[in-house]
Structures are given as structure tokens and as C-alpha cells.
Structure 1
Amino acid sequence: MHRNRLSIQRLLLICGLSCSPVLLAAAPAQTPKPVIVAYVFQRNDLIQPGQIAAQKLTRINYAFANLQGGRIINGFTNDDKNLAALVALKQENPSLTVLVSVGGWAWSGNFSDMAFTKKSRNLFIESVVEFVDHNHLDGLDIDWEYPGMVGAGNHFRPEDKQNYTLLLKELRHRFNQQEKKLHRQLYLTIATGASSDFLAHTEMGKAQKYVDTVNLMAYDYYEPSSDAIAAHHAPLFTNPADPKKISGNRSVQEFEQAGVPTAKIVLGVPFYGHVWGQVSDTDHGLFQAGKPVPNAFARYGNITTTMLNNGYTRYWDPVASVPYLYNPEKKIFVSYEDPESLALKSKYVVDHKLGGMMFWDYSGDPTGALLDAIDTGLKKTPYVHNGTK
């Protein structure tokens, strides 16, 4: 980009005022293709041949590396083998990039201490460079849940707000140096909470300058463990009846207002649902009181094979643009995502010129129906709904 800017300046000096407007007219800017980012969460399982549809992905964020002793370390038994398997997918898709994601909900407890001083940040950053180089990766995804907030019972401090920015700034500077050595690009991305609280505890207008994408986790707005109301956990638009008045669209607008460029925002979607019990049949359970049940987290694959049309009826919220299930006999409500809602979210991403879409996580969609809907939707091909509303 800097070379292009200098070339234009030289051309202006040479031509002066005699150059015609046609000669100096800039070529039309090409809109980058929306990225498709998959979080692959294997735990201790090995990635199997043919498991990942590499051709339909732009980037894989392998989850999770851990943070111990101020350094990034493997999180699970087979991380080295799994990372090698993912990097090998570039033979199928040469443009695929593979990043490691560090932290996550359960492993964000050591971020605050690591980011507290320049010395501690430098120790972490150097360990990241070694980790990325050792595994032949294309960069790092920071999943700190959450700066300045307790998250999963984590230690935090007020200084997290500024230290989060400093960590990203210093990582980006070190990656720039490493790029010259490797002769290839290194990506730095972040997974962010979609709440107003997250924005209040960070400096996103400053922090965004140092990252390639902001992966907006636009889900878990409602969870059975913390919300006594059965509601959409990943609505695209705000339903006026929603007590929280939340949605992916609202979060996108708030991040834009906080200074994050639209093109850097990657809309996150869930490949899983949340389940509430003891929900009354008013409005098929939507926005009604509910309680947690066993197995309240349900992967999309399980929802379609064990719930849908097995006592559970699918309903559609035309305002929020998401489906939900209700079982009147068991009084169970399920909030989830399906191909129709993801087709609409894909259209939203294209229409609003967002950076792309991200999903958590790959294992939730064993048949590939959700990924197909995203892949098709971002290519602007009309999605044909073959099911029933």
C-alpha cells in the first residue's frame, strides 16, 4: 500500500497540472471477498482425513492454545499433529490460512497478568513467534474473554483496557518484523464479545488498528445458565418484544460506532443451540420464563437428528430472522441457527460490506448444511430453502 501511494505522488509531480483527469483517475477499488472463518475445536481428538471442507474456508482458527507461565503452550494432546493436518489442507486450498487461537472462555484467566507489563507482554509475544514458526502457521487469534471483566471467574484489573491495546500493538509490530524474515504475511485477529460491556472495557477504536479482523461473537446473547427467559441466542435483528433488545445487527452498529471499520468486522454465528425447560406454550415459548435443563447446549447435528420433527416443531421469527423449536408436551424451547437463517445472515454480510463470517465450531455441523449455506450465501447465490417453516 505504501508503494502504491508513493507511485501516485511521483506521477502527480511529473504530470503537474497538464495531466488529464483520465490519466490520473484511480482504478475502481475492488471489494475483498468476504472471509469464512472456522473455529476447529478438537480437544484431544485427531483430525481425520476429509473432515474439513478446506475449499469452502478462508481461514481456520485452531482452538485452543493455552497460556501458562506467561507463554503460549499447547492446549491438548494432539495439537502438533492436528495443526500439521490443517496446514496440509493448503494442498487442497492454497489460499487457506491457519491460525492458532489462544485463550477462550475457560483459558482466559492468565491474560491480565501476561498483559500487565511490557516485559511480560514481550515474553508472551516471543513465545507466539516461536509457536507460529514451529507449526508453520499464518498467525494468531487472541480470544481473551474478557479484558476488565470476570469472564469465567478470571482475575482482571482496570488496566486491562489499555493493556489489551498495547498487547495487540506490540504483537503487530513483532509480526511485521517476522514477516520480513519469513517473506509472507502473518495475521493477527481477535475474538470479541458482542456486548456493550465489552466495548466499555476496551479501546476498540485504537485496538482495531493492529488486527486484520474483529471476529464478533454475535451469539450467546441469551443462555439458560444465566437467563431465566427463553429467547433467541443469536438473532440477526432486534425483536421489539425482546427484553434485552439485542441482536447481531445492533452489535455490528455499536462496534462501528466504537471505531471499528465495517470491513474488519466478521460476523460470528453459532453451530449450536441453547435449550430451556419448563417454558409455557405462550407464543410457542418465545420470551417466556424458562429454566436450565440437562444438556442445555445442543449441537446443530443433534438438534436436527433428535429434536426436529420428533415432538419439536420449528417456528420462525420473521423480525429476528432466526428459527426456534418448541415441544409443548415437554415444555422445552430451543434457540438455534439453521441454513435459512444463515443464508439471511450471509446476505446481511454482503449487503453491509462486512469482512465476512465466522462460526463456532466446525464439529457442530457434521453434514455440512450450515457451512454450505454460508458458502452459497457469501457468493451471492440465492439460497433455496427445502424444509418447512
Structure 2
Amino acid sequence: MPSRRIRFLSALLAMLALPACALAAQPAATSGAHYRVVAYDTAHHPIPAADVDRIDTLIFAFARPEDGRVTLAPAGRALLQQRIALKAAHPKLKVMVSVGGWSVGGFSEAAMTPESRQRFADSAAALLVETHADGLDVDWEYPGHHESGIASSPQDREHFTALLKTLRATLDRAGHGKHYLLTIAAADGPFVDGIDIAAVAPSLDWFNLMTYDFCNVMTPTTCNHTGLHASALAPADARTLARAVRQFLAAGVPPAKLVPGVAFYGREFADVDPAHHGMFQKYGHYQGGHDWPQLKADFINHDGYVRYWDAKAEAPYLWNEQTHRFITYDDPQSIAAKAAYVKAQHLGGLMYWEQGSDPDGELLKAVWQGLQ
């Protein structure tokens, strides 16, 4: 029986004897990369076991900053414990707590001084230790901004960096060897100018990029509210998932720390100017949001709502010629395109808002399958 060394040399000589074209045809080695599926969850619905197995990290929303501390009311703690209990049957699942959300203030004040930052961090660490959660997600919308009605300060940018550094150090001490995850929910474009992206990146495990709501009740026109790329009709400064990723990469964030978002809901606009099937047009009023089951049951190719596909943006939308109503949303086709983009750019995975908007798990399955 030939030795291992002889067998190795024989195989090497055989490979060298192959023509170049045959070598080129050999399959490339797989990288073995794992892409995260990150779910925001408001705990309105139980999660089927099959769905839990497709989620890497579940982020329970929301705790609140009150009097400078991270707090979670008893009812919220009970719901969080239901989610943490899932780990008994799904040991690979991570369950985090998100603090904040749109229009939730108290962050600027909590980040203002070394003492206030430490008080915030100590309360966050205590919450994670008490509940056996796996980490904290900070959803401050947004440092240096007050569009949502919260207090802000010109110093928010530097204070946010200091707050996250304090959180990282405090969570490391509290873990006693366990690594508590630390993430932030971040927007893009002008809404991230209050964050020193390069400075906060070392403190974070990843960024949850809120690459949705690009148009809403506060914007003057319709758009692809969660488009991957820019529509042919989009202005030069239009926000897209790909532009958000490029913005964070340009700031020096490693690709694997970027987890862009998918929307499990659509946004509807009424009295829309009819040019281009309502895309990037002025509208009379914002009609509201619709979760995925309602979109399927009542809107997509129903009652005059015709589905169109924006090939350049890689996003679907609905236009109702009779009522001049426009709906923008994500579906399995656009999610597949986003998953392919994540893999091509070697990003960290995909995040979505939110679990309760897809009770049958159809869109979650598209996220999971796309990232395999």
C-alpha cells in the first residue's frame, strides 16, 4: 500500500498533466460563509418552529430609555421571556433586546456625560443578565436629528460614539466570558450624518441598516420605499439599499458588519399623479401601510391594483389606474435580488421589519432561501 506522501505526489503530478481548460473547469472551493437572518419582533404573534429555525437573531422590540436607564415594563419582560424560551428547542437562536424606536427620545440626554452614559450602560447590562438575553440593539432615530419629535444636540455625534464604547466595555465586564452582542439600527443618507460611522464600528457586532421607508408620509413623492437600486426615474440623491451599503463601506465598515433590511409591509399613496404608473410622482395624501398577507389578499392584482416590476430598481409596485393609488413593497422576487446582492458583496446577511407582518413565514422563507 503506497504511503500518504507517494499518493499525494501522484495526485499532484496527475493534476499538472491536465490541460489548462480542464483545470479551469474544476469547481471553485466554497467559502462556507454564513449569512445572518435577523428578525425584528414586536411579539404580537407566536413564531412557528419552522420559522424559528430560519432565524439566526431575533431582536425583541422595544425597551425604552427612561430617566437615563434602559427599562422594560413587566408585560414586555413576560413577552421577552417567551422568546428566550424558544432557545431551549432552538439552541442556535440568539435573542436580543432593542431599545428605542421611532419617536422614542431620551437618548441625547443619556449620552450627554460620562456619568449618564455609564448609568445607561449599567442598566442595559443588568437587563440582559436578568432576562438571559444575548445582546442589545440601540435604535436611536436619529443622533443629531429631531424629525421624530425627540430632543437632539449638535454633540450627539461624539456622544453616540462614547455611549457605544461605554456599552461595549460594560457588556464585556458583565458577560464574565460571555460575549453580549451589540448592534444599532441605522438609516442612511442624511439621517446618518449624526453618527461617526468609522468610530462606532469597532464597538458593534453589526449594523442593522433600515433600508426601507425611503418614501413615506414625510416625503414629497412616491418611490420604491425599499428598492435595491435606483429607478430610472429616481433623482440623483434617491435613497436605495445599494447606495446605503456603499455609504457605510466608504466610511470603512467591514462588509460582514452590514446587514441591510427588508420590509414585510407596503406603503400606499393616494391621489397620485398618473405619469409613469405613479412612480416618483407627487401625491395628495399618504394612505397607510399594509402587511404582506393583506397585500396578497386585497391588493396585488385585485380591484384594479396592477403589479409592475421595476427592473432597474429590482422592486415591485402596484398602480391603480382608476383610483390613482400607488403601493410600494417587497415580495419574494425582490427579496431574492437583495439576497443575491448580499452574497455578491459579502455582506453580513439580511434583516427584516417585522416578524408579525409575515405570520405564514412566506417572506422569511424567501430571505432564508436566498441566503443559502
* TM-score, structure 2 normalization: 0.88
Please state if 1:190 is matched with 2:184.
yes
Q: 1:128 aligns with which of 124, 127, 134?
A: 124
Tell me the alpha carbon deviations over residues 316-345 of structure 1, each in whole angstroms, 9 at most, x when there is no partner. 000000000011111100000001000110
Does residue 136 of structure 2 align to residue 140 of structure 1?
Answer: yes
User: Is 2:211 the partner of 1:218?
Assistant: yes
Q: 8 Å contact 1:199–1:255 — kept in the other structure?
A: no
- Residue 101 of structure 2, aligned match among 100, 104, 109: 104
- The aligned counterpart of 2:196 is 203
SS at match of 2:290: strand
Give the superposition deviation at 1:128: 0.8
Deviation at 1:29, TM superposition (A): 11
**Cα distance per residue 1:50-98 (max 9 Å; x no partner):** 37821000001100001101111115x6212211111111123211100
Superposed CA offset, 1:109-159 (max 9, x none)? 100000000100111111111110111100100000000111311111011
Contact 1:58 1:95 in 2 (8 A): yes
Query: Which of residues 59, 62, 67 in structure 2 aligns to 1:61?
Result: 59
Q: Which residue of 2 aligns with 1:23?
A: none
AA aligned to 1:93 is H
Partner of residue 119, structure 1: 115
- The alpha-carbon distance between structure 1 residues 341 and 29, as it changes in their structure 2 partners (threshold 3 A), is closer
**Would you say the 8 A contact 2:172–2:178 is kept in 1?**
no
Q: Conserved in 2, the CA contact under 8 Å of 1:235 and 1:320?
A: yes
Alignment gaps of 5+ in structure 2:
1-28
Aligned partner of residue 229 in structure 1, secondary structure: coil
Deviations 1:163-209 (A, max 9, x none): 101111111111111222xx4221000000122x2332211101011
Q: Within 1, Cα distance between the matches of 2:291 and 2:123?
A: 34
Separation (CA, whole Å) in 2 of partners of 1:138 and 1:368: 24
Q: Does 1:91 align with 2:92?
A: no
**Residue ranges of structure 1 left out of the alignment (5+ in a row):** 1-27, 380-389
1:219 corresponds to which letter in structure 2? Answer: Y
Partner of 2:162, secondary structure, is: helix
CA RMSD across the alignment? 1.7
| Count of aligned positions | 342
> Residue 168 of structure 1 corresponds to which residue in structure 2?
164
How far, CA to CA, are the matches of 1:331 and 1:116 in structure 2?
Answer: 48
**Is 1:329 the counterpart of 2:322 in the alignment?**
yes
Counterpart CA distance in 2 for 1:157 and 1:245 is 26
Q: 1:30: Cα distance to partner?
A: 5.5
CA contact (8 A) 2:233 2:279 kept: no
**Range 210-219 or range 301-310, more displaced:** 301-310
- Which of the numbers 151, 161, 184 marks the counterpart of 1:155? 151
SS in structure 1 at match of 2:53: helix
| Contact 1:55–1:92, Cα closer than 8 Å, also in 2 | no
**Out of 335, 348, 362, which is 1:342 matched to?**
335
CA contact (8 A) 1:172 1:188 kept: yes
Distance 1:347 1:318 in 2: 15
C-alpha contact (below 8 Å) 1:275/1:297 kept by paired residues = yes
Report if aligned partners of 2:264, 2:354 keep a CA contact under 8 Å in 1: yes
Give the match for residue 69 of structure 2. Answer: 71
Which secondary structure does the structure 2 equivalent of 1:298 belong to?
strand
Distance 2:153 2:50 in 1: 39
